Chain A
Amino acid sequence: KAGVTQTPRYLIKTRGQQVTLSCSPISGHRSVSWYQQTPGQGLQFLFEYFSETQRNKGNFPGRFSGRQFSNSRSEMNVSTLELGDSALYLCASSSGGSNEQYFGPGTRLTVT
């Protein structure tokens, strides 16, 4: 089975711009979660989608948003980028039958 895929793998953006990241889960997985990883804060939960509905949301400002499509693919969007948004953004998928989450390779976002 193919793993979780994320595109793009690397991005460089300027402060004030917006960015959209994409995630395709493992085939058959209906839950997609997004995390931000930084050296200082570690891995932090952003939000989780299941069957096109946001089920959980972490403590991030409204500039961070996401959505899920009917084929379970998910996108996250960050508007009005700040320098502090530079991070590795990770997507993880789960079958929905257990809590086990499998991560994609991540998107490395650099904001200058």
Chain B
Amino acid sequence: QKEVEQNSGPLSVPEGAIASLNCTYSDRGSQSFFWYRQYSGKSPELIMSIYSNGDKEDGRFTAQLNKASQYVSLLIRDSQPSDSATYLCAAPSNSNSGYALNFGKGTSLLVTP
């Protein structure tokens, strides 16, 4: 079974700090990875996608991919209370077909004022 693993948390960080969220995956053939943010009672919202080894930055968010270690992370700089949500990591569940995503169970992030 190809899996995506995340620490469920909760991860608590003070406002203004860097939040670091981690994810590991089992399918070495996976080529793309996604981070979704889900507020309580809402649907997941795509916030970052990453396809190549290294870092990808978008505003306060940085996604990091290390294919050799099968590891993806999301850094949130200058964390705000509005960032408090569950963050879901996802990768295609089949290397040959990219439209079925396998999700981790999510990490709950709490940013305290």
Contact = CB atoms under 8 A, between A and B. Distances in A.
A65 B49 CA distance: 29
B99 A102 contact: no
Which secondary structure characterizes the binding site on chain A?
strand
B78 interface: no
Which secondary structure characterizes the binding site on chain B?
strand
B84 interface: no
Interface string B85-113: 00010001110011111111110000000
Contacts of B101: 33, 35, 45, 92, 99, 101
Interface stretch (B40-48, B52-60, B61-69): B40-48
A20 B92 CA distance: 27
A43 B44 contact: yes
A48 B88 CA distance: 20
A100 B34 contact: yes
28 contacts: A31-B99, A35-B101, A35-B103, A42-B103, A42-B104, A42-B105, A43-B44, A44-B103, A48-B99, A48-B100, A55-B97, A56-B93, A56-B97, A56-B100, A88-B43, A90-B43, A94-B99, A98-B49, A98-B98, A99-B49, A99-B98, A99-B101, A100-B49, A101-B34, A101-B99, A103-B36, A103-B44, A105-B43
Given A42-B103, A56-B99, 18 more contacts: A33-B99, A33-B101, A42-B105, A43-B44, A45-B93, A55-B97, A55-B99, A56-B93, A94-B99, A98-B32, A99-B32, A100-B34, A100-B46, A100-B49, A101-B34, A105-B42, A105-B43, A106-B43
Interface of A: 31, 33, 35, 42-45, 48, 50, 55-56, 58, 88, 90, 92, 94, 96, 98-106
The 6 closest A-B pairs by CB, nearest first: A99-B98, A43-B103, A42-B105, A56-B100, A103-B43, A99-B32
